[in-house]
């Protein structure tokens, strides 16, 4: 899949956009809920698809390391909270998966756009990742990012961060 879209709207130094979304358990989640912690937010196109599963499971596998570093994780896709819950339960994901059904948060992050899927041009989420510091300031952004590169890029950025 290749993507043709505008670059991510957020650049290092930008504050995390304000939003309020439901997670897989129906809880309202906002970035400010994580004030004082580093925050890794990744966007994926659709729960329970190959690439999205590989990406989310890879993040889950390093969750203990991330917790030790004070990093909280949020996954975001257009899926419903019910679909997010099935995804979390099926793959043992223990971090919030947020439902951005109207893709307003994806648009605020600059990751909603036209992309090529199996030779067809479609609108959707461009797989991306964003690392914010404890003050909610963007340190690093990857858009697009492949499922296999998400965790290595995140860990590299965390090692380089003060």
Q: pLDDT of 137-162, one tens digit each? A: 999 999 999 999 999 999 999 998 76
Q: Which domains does the chain have, with CATH numbers?
A: 21-154 (3.40.30.10)
Please state the pTM of the whole predicted model. 0.93
Residue 133: name the closest of 56, 69, 77 by CA.
69
Catalytic positions, please?
Answer: 52
Candidate from 9-13, 91-95, 96-100 with smallest mean pLDDT: 9-13
pLDDT level of residue 70 (50, 70, 90 thresholds) = very high
> Which tokens belong to 22?
């439901």
Average pLDDT over all residues of the chain: 93
pLDDT per residue as tens digits for the range 14-34: 999 999 999 999 999 999 999
Task: Please tell me the predicted confidence (pLDDT) of residue 7.
Answer: 46
pLDDT level of residue 118 (50, 70, 90 thresholds) = confident
Does residue 4 carry a pLDDT above 50?
no
């Amino acid at each position: 899949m290749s993507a043709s879209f505008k670059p991510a709207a957020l650049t290092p130094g930008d504050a995390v956009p304000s939003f309020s979304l439901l997670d897989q358990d129906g809880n309202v989640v906002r970035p400010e809920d994580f004030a004082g912690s580093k925050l890794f937010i990744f966007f994926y196109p659709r729960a329970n698809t190959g690439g999205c599963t590989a990406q989310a499971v890879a993040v889950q596998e390093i969750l203990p390391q991330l917790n030790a570093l004070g990093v909280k994780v949020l996954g975001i896709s257009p899926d419903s909270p019910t679909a997010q819950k099935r995804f979390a339960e099926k793959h043992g994901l223990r971090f919030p998966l947020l439902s951005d059904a109207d893709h307003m948060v994806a648009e605020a992050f600059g990751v909603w756009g036209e992309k090529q899927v199996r030779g067809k041009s479609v609108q959707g989420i461009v797989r991306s990742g964003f690392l914010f510091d404890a003050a909610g300031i963007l340190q690093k952004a990857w858009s697009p990012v492949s499922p296999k590169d998400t965790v290595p890029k995140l860990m590299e950025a965390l090692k380089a961060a003060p």
